[in-house]
Amino acid sequence: MSGFLERIKGVFHRKEEDEKAMYIIAGLGNPTKEYEKTRHNVGFEVIDVLADRLFTSVDEKKFKGYYGKAVIGGEKVILLKPQTFMNLSGESVRAAADFYKVDPDHIIVVYDDVSLDVGQLRIRTKGSAGGHNGIKNIIAHLGTQEFPRIKVGVGNKPPRMDLADYVLGRFPKEERGLMEDAFKEAAEAVEVLVKEGAGIAMNRFNGHKEKE
């Protein structure tokens, strides 16, 4: 593995100020152990799975978050986990985008969606925040809704439950297995999106696990 990591570092051999990362992959969540494995942190979990697939780590601190470097299909990518807390995610994403001069259409955001069934994925190339405060803040900081995103379904909240309590809660045991599979699938979707484009990724992953 050390040789593989050295090859990745070789792609990033120039000074960071002179680099241009082709893609930023940002998984959204809240920092600290208190929020680990909650519904709102599925973006972090997908980034962790993706980092493992790419034989890298996300432990360098910058851009108000943790980040790591990797290569997907010959394209340099930055894996980013904002540490600003969810509602200020745009501060971290914008800082990384400005530093690497990455346009919004090459910023892929992975996050939880309460309107999708548990474990269901949906890829979009643009759209509104849909009530998600992390996406709302990213839109505000980027000044556009036109950036690709991978939504990971966490299921709808019970009728009388507060939304904040629901998304900050953890998955019951019977759903956790579905989510582990969804994290792997979302990581694969990121790779397909980068290597083959949004159209192919949407055809392959959208609607999977949807109810008939």
pLDDT digits (tens, 9 = 90+) for 10-42: 555 544 444 556 899 999 999 999 999 999 999
Residue 12 is labelled as binding a ligand = no
pLDDT reading at 69 higher than 60: yes
Section 131-136 average pLDDT: 95
**Structural domains present in the chain:** 2-205 (3.40.50.1470)
**Residue 22 pLDDT:** 85
Residue 111 is labelled as binding a ligand = no
Give the Å distances, CA to CA, from 4 to 12, 67, 122: 13, 18, 32
Residue 166 is labelled as binding a ligand = no
DSSP one-letter string for 29-77: ---SGGGTTBGGGHHHHHHHHHHHHTT----EEETTEEEEEEEETTEEE
**Tens digit of pLDDT for each residue in 136-151?**
999 999 999 999 999 9
- Respond yes or no: is residue 40 known to be catalytic: yes
**Residue 17 pLDDT:** 43
Section 68-91 average pLDDT: 96
Active-site residue among 40, 106, 132, 141? 40
Cα–Cα distance for residue pair 176/182, rounded to 1 Å: 10
Cα–Cα distance for residue pair 51/28, rounded to 1 Å: 15
Among 210, 186, 207, residue whose Cα is nearest residue 44: 186
Residues 6 or more apart whose CB falls under 8 angstroms from that of 111 comprise 27, 28, 42, 43, 132, 134, 135, 149, 150, 151, 152
Task: For the chain, count helices (H), then strands (E).
Answer: 7, 7
